[in-house]
């Protein structure tokens, strides 16, 4: 992955930059010792690493504003960071940057059950948002796989989803307001505990903007009353086509399961060897979960089972108890770990129209053969968000490049059938140079004009999201 | 309402401007005769009128691009127009502008039931979108009161909602993609029939942008399977406080009605005299509607009725038949017409946290007394979107101004309790100069920087949304 040359003039001034930041902020906020900054040299896309100039770990919005204002004055690039769980390299540092981590802004600032919201520091982990309200019968809906570790700041940056987003939507559908600090240190309150506020909807623009526009320090999140219960069914099919048709029919029938998860044969095999969940030996496996009162669950499952049977399943397993439900989920929840046992892996995030599932799965199988690399598919089928996992060996010379080339082909395929490059992981550096397949030069241009409006110096999260060639002129003009 | 001085140099060149547009476009596209342009001199905020320089009624996206490109070259302001039903003056012309109406772009371009979307020309009316898919068992959810007349283009511009948006969300939650033409005539495809696409989320930014950023010519909309049935209940209470508490409890209980409508005494009285719907004589009336299968409806209604009874209603009326259901809705649906019989009215659109309903209703009553103008309240209570109707007499000198002053006080009250100026009608010219109550100078500044990115010449929909004083420097710089 090509990165722009770090600015030698900034690196040369490291001592002065660190001193100015250290002087302006409470003790322990600025880290510059190489041994300590090492923990920040990559995120979950660990194939790419780069030690930053320094790391700032502020505790308040005002301290975040101070870091940004000083870096803006000194023209030092800033890479915002939540919990560092990005799969797309969204918080990969550059050698001339200050990493601005918001993990210490993690408090619950307000809960309001009557108006169904919670306000938290953006560094709070996803799962601990639910943790703060579940005793009162509420939960926060978006549930990325990394929810134990990932921060709300990163969820907002990438507009994260999760297995349950079919019913509840992704982050943007559950975000009511943010405090955003722009690169010049100005603090903006955007949105709030109400509907659409008039004027331009900057809240939705910021959601998914991958740290290009500002740093989110606080978030007001919609919380929902916990449903009475949930129950999954497991359905096995002899082909991906039939499983895809079953998914389409469930959606068309107007039932709204909270989750429809899909695993293909390579993934089922890996998972079964790893977890012993007792999954059937078949080409495609669906886990469909519904929620509600016992009567609602029964009614929805009756419709789903009826559709599933019409497609002639090789297996159809209901769950009569908590234990059986947990067993159905066991394999799915360990799928990424299981695939990881087979080698290094790269997890893609292309999203396609649901009706294209069978074609895309068949074509991925063909591409897998052509490139000689195994691909397992496990994904949120209800909304067409695929997660093909390419297995490779990072120690075999050339295999990383081959894997990236196959990944690029699969993502181009997603775009060709009317889908897109990324559903919930973001562009980061990983898909940056593929953006030209998704967007015309005019489309990229208008996006970059918006970036200009927020960050005219192009100092925030450099070399991410926009193809380097497309942004070159704007970056040069900004210097 | 102050408007900037129209540019005399542009008006002086009317003949040349009209000739260039007429030459470049098919016959019948450009209208400039004063008798014919009169129909475009106002929208539904008819207290404000201004004849435009000319009106363009293109039939295709390419023709829209031609109109915009030529106006851009000649520095002529453009006022986009859907069906002209804006209650906020969103498409009020200026004397130096070309009105660009998209009503002729009204065809169904694509329907895809498997992937649950429809693509239409943006001039298509809201109700006829559902009309195009209902034979196949689908519908388009957002349902503004004006849905028979209003265009999707205007729904997108104002991010319109409707009685059923409590369950299904407003326009932004049901919009998948648009074709947008920017002021320089560039055609952009934004979003599509898939989730979040990576890069900046311009789709949500455009939704609700009131024609400030570009002209939408096509829209891809989410369609949903029609529920099996729906059933309303009518609940009367002796005070707004108790009715507000009942709404809060319903929301907290986790049932999700499709609609919770609220009417206060002045509105009930007017409606009853007008429609004879048989509403009870009480302070506050709720209509709560739920949807689903018969079993789901029964289950949800049981919970709602239980909550309603705990708050000691003066009336509780279930509907056992279609006729009884229609009778419950009859008064609500004729409420605006009924209030219109009492005099001229101004319809506000402030949105507040649901828990503030009792306080805000009481305070509106006090303000109504202080100003000596009747105010009726009928609104979507489930999401806190209020529609206070101020009754006044436009022919009594000074009463229009008094009404506007009272309206401003009520909207400021909404902002003070943590709400906002507008839920679904937009800012337009009506609430333009109140934006400073909602936003800090820094917040307005960053919104205007985004406007700069899309429309650096400030030619699109002039003198709307942003306070004239705030935008003066940017408009001057653009000239």
Residues of chain A contacting B451 with CB distance shorter than 8 Å: 200
Q: What is the pLDDT of residue A256?
A: 84
Residues 6+ positions from A143 with CB-CB distance below 8 Å: A126, A162, A163, A164, A165
Per-residue pLDDT reduced to its tens digit, A218-257: 999 999 988 889 999 999 999 988 998 899 888 878 788 9
Neighbours of A88 (CB within 10 A): 27
User: For a pLDDT cut of 90, what percent of chain B falls above it?
Assistant: 69
CA distance A170 to B164: 21
Nearest to A236 by CA among A308, A326, A289, A303: A308
Which of B114, B138, B177, B200 would you mutate first to test chain A, the one with the most A CBs within 10 A?
B200
Chain A nearest CA to B198, separation (Å): 6
Neighbours of B469 (CB within 10 A): 10
CA distance A64 to A178: 14
Cβ(A247)–Cβ(A357) below 8 Å: yes
Q: What is the pLDDT of residue B203?
A: 94
**ipTM for this model:** 0.86
pLDDT at B174 over 90: yes
Q: Measure CB to CB from residue A197 to each of B248, B384, B420 and give the nearest one.
A: B420
CB contact under 8 A, B195 and A444: no
Residue reference for tokens 């208008």:
A446
Over residues B73-88, the mean pLDDT reads 96
User: For a pLDDT cut of 70, what percent of chain B falls above it?
Assistant: 99
Q: What is the pLDDT of residue B339?
A: 83
HSE of B103, CA atoms in CB hemisphere, 13 A: 14
Q: Does B155 touch chain A (CB under 8 A)?
A: no
Residue reference for tokens 């010519």:
B217
User: For a pLDDT cut of 70, what percent of chain A falls above it?
Assistant: 99
CB contact under 8 A, B190 and A465: no
SS3 B177: strand
Chain A nearest CA to B361, separation (Å): 17
Q: Measure CB to CB from residue A204 to each of B115, B204, B248 and give the nearest one.
A: B204
Residues 6+ positions from A132 with CB-CB distance below 8 Å: A108, A111, A118, A120
Instruction: For residue A347, give both structure tokens.
Output: 């997890």
Cβ(B306)–Cβ(B377) below 8 Å: no
Over residues B184-205, the mean pLDDT reads 86
CA distance B82 to B124: 9
pLDDT at B389 over 80: yes
Nearest to A450 by CA among B157, B186, B77, B446: B446
Burial (0-12, 13-18, 19+ Cβ within 10 Å), B344: middle
Instruction: For residue A381, give both structure tokens.
Output: 């089928």
Instruction: For residue A179, give both structure tokens.
Output: 């405090």
pLDDT at B307 over 70: yes
Instruction: For residue A353, give both structure tokens.
Output: 């129209």
Q: Long-range contacts for B104-109 (Cβ within 8 Å, ≥24 apart)? A: B104/B57, B104/B58, B104/B59, B105/B58, B105/B59, B105/B60, B105/B61, B105/B64, B105/B217, B105/B218, B106/B151, B108/B132, B109/B218
Average pLDDT, chain B: 92
Sign of the CA dihedral running B347, B350, B356, B359: negative
Confidence of residue B316 (pLDDT cuts 50, 70, 90): very high
Confidence of residue B194 (pLDDT cuts 50, 70, 90): low
pLDDT at B1 over 80: no
Confidence of residue A452 (pLDDT cuts 50, 70, 90): very high
CA distance B270 to B276: 10
Pairing of strands B98-101, B78-81: parallel
Average pLDDT, chain A: 92
Confidence of residue B163 (pLDDT cuts 50, 70, 90): confident
Between residues B125 and B4, the one the model is more confident about:
B125
The values of phi and psi at residue B50, to 5°, are -160, 125
- Domains of chain B by range and CATH? 1-226 (3.30.465.10), 229-336 (3.30.70.3450), 343-416 (3.30.70.2740), 432-478 (no CATH)
pLDDT at B202 over 90: yes
Q: What is the pLDDT of residue B195?
A: 59
Sign of the CA dihedral running A146, A292, B312, B258: positive
Please provide the DSSP assignment of B423-447 as one string: SSS--TTTTGGGHHHHS-HHHHHHH
Cβ(B209)–Cβ(B93) below 8 Å: no
CB contact under 8 A, B195 and A420: yes
HSE of A258, CA atoms in CB hemisphere, 13 A: 20
Instruction: For residue A238, give both structure tokens.
Output: 């002899």
Q: What is the pLDDT of residue B335?
A: 84
Instruction: For residue B435, give both structure tokens.
Output: 């934006």
Over residues A335-346, the mean pLDDT reads 84
Q: Does A227 touch chain B (CB under 8 A)?
A: yes
Between residues B286 and A346, the one the model is more confident about:
B286
Instruction: For residue B432, give both structure tokens.
Output: 């333009």
Instruction: For residue B452, give both structure tokens.
Output: 């700069």
Over residues B258-276, the mean pLDDT reads 89
Q: What is the pLDDT of residue B196?
A: 61
Cβ(A387)–Cβ(A87) below 8 Å: no
Starting at the earlier edge strand, list the strands of the sheet with A284-292.
A315-317, A229-237, A284-292, A259-264, A375-380, A388-392, A344-347
Per-residue pLDDT reduced to its tens digit, A182-226: 999 999 999 887 656 778 999 999 999 999 999 999 999 999 988
Chain B nearest CA to A166, separation (Å): 11
Over residues A141-153, the mean pLDDT reads 92
pLDDT at A383 over 90: no
CA of B340: how far to CAs of A102, A227, B214, B402, B406, in Å? Answer: 53, 43, 34, 18, 18
CA distance B252 to A283: 43
Q: What is the pLDDT of residue A84?
A: 94
Nearest to B468 by CA among B423, B419, B435, B443: B435
pLDDT at A72 over 70: yes
Which of A89, A175, A188, A195 would you mutate first to test chain B, the one with the most B CBs within 10 A?
A195
Per-residue pLDDT reduced to its tens digit, A21-51: 999 999 999 999 999 999 999 998 888 999 9
CB contact under 8 A, A208 and B201: yes
Q: Does B441 touch chain A (CB under 8 A)?
A: no
Instruction: For residue B328, give both structure tokens.
Output: 């419950």
Q: Does B351 touch chain A (CB under 8 A)?
A: yes
Per-residue pLDDT reduced to its tens digit, A92-139: 999 999 999 999 999 999 999 888 899 999 999 999 999 999 999 999
CB contact under 8 A, B420 and A450: no
User: For a pLDDT cut of 90, what percent of chain A falls above it?
Assistant: 69
CA distance B189 to B181: 9
CA of B302: how far to CAs of A295, B230, B233, in Å? Answer: 13, 14, 11
CA distance B472 to B458: 11
Chain B nearest CA to A13, separation (Å): 31
Q: What is the pLDDT of residue A384?
A: 86
Instruction: For residue A135, give both structure tokens.
Output: 């005793």
pLDDT at A70 over 90: yes
Per-residue pLDDT reduced to its tens digit, A272-300: 888 888 899 999 999 999 998 888 899 89
């Amino acid at each position: 992955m090509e990165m722009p040359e770090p600015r030698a003039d900034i690196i040369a001034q490291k001592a002065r930059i660190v001193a100015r930041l250290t002087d302006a902020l409470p003790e322990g906020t600025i880290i510059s010792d190489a041994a300590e900054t090492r923990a920040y040299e990559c995120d979950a896309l660990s194939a790419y690493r780069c030690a930053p100039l320094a790391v700032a770990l502020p505790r308040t919005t005002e301290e975040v504003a101070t870091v940004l204002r000083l870096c803006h004055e000194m023209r030092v690039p800033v890479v915002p960071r939540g919990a560092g769980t990005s799969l797309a390299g969204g918080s990969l540092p550059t050698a001339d940057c200050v990493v601005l981590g918001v993990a210490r802004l993690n408090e619950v600032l307000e809960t309001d059950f009557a108006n169904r919201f919670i306000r938290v520091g953006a560094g709070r982990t996803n799962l601990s948002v639910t943790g703060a309200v579940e005793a009162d019968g509420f939960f926060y809906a978006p549930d990325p796989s990394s929810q134990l570790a990932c921060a709300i700041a990163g969820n907002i940056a990438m507009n994260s989803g999760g297995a349950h987003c079919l019913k509840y939507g992704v982050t943007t559908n559950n975000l009511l307001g943010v405090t955003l600090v722009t690169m010049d240190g100005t603090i903006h309150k955007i949105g709030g505990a109400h509907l659409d506020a008039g004027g331009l909807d900057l809240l939705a623009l910021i959601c998914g903007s991958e740290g290009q526009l500002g740093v989110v320090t606080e978030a007001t999140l919609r919380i929902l009353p916990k449903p009475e219960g949930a129950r999954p069914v497991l359905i096995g099919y002899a082909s991906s086509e039939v499983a895809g048709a079953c998914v389409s029919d469930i959606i068309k029938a107007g039932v709204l399961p909270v989750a429809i998860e899909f695993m293909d044969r390579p993934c089922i095999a890996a998972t079964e060897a790893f977890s012993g969940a007792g999954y059937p030996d078949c080409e495609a496996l669906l886990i469909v979960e519904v929620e509600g009162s016992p009567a609602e669950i029964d009614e929805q499952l009756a419709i789903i089972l009826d559709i599933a049977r019409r497609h002639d399943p090789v297996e159809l397993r209901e769950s009569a108890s908590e234990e059986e439900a947990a067993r159905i989920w066991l394999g799915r929840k360990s799928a990424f770990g299981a695939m990881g046992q087979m080698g290094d892996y790269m997890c893609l995030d292309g999203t396609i129209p649901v009706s294209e599932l069978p074609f895309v799965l068949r074509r991925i199988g063909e591409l897998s053969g052509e490139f000689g690399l195994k691909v397992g598919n496990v994904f949120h089928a209800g909304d067409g968000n695929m997660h093909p996992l390419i297995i490779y060996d990072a120690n075999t010379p050339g295999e990383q490049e081959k894997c990236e080339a196959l990944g690029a082909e699969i993502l181009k395929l997603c775009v060709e059938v009317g889908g897109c490059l990324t559903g919930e992981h973001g562009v980061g550096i990983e898909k940056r140079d593929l953006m030209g397949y998704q967007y015309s030069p005019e489309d990229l241009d208008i996006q970059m004009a918006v970036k200009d409006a927020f960050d005219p110096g192009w100092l925030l999260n450099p070399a991410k999201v926009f193809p380097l060639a497309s942004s070159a002129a704007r970056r040069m003009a900004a210097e």
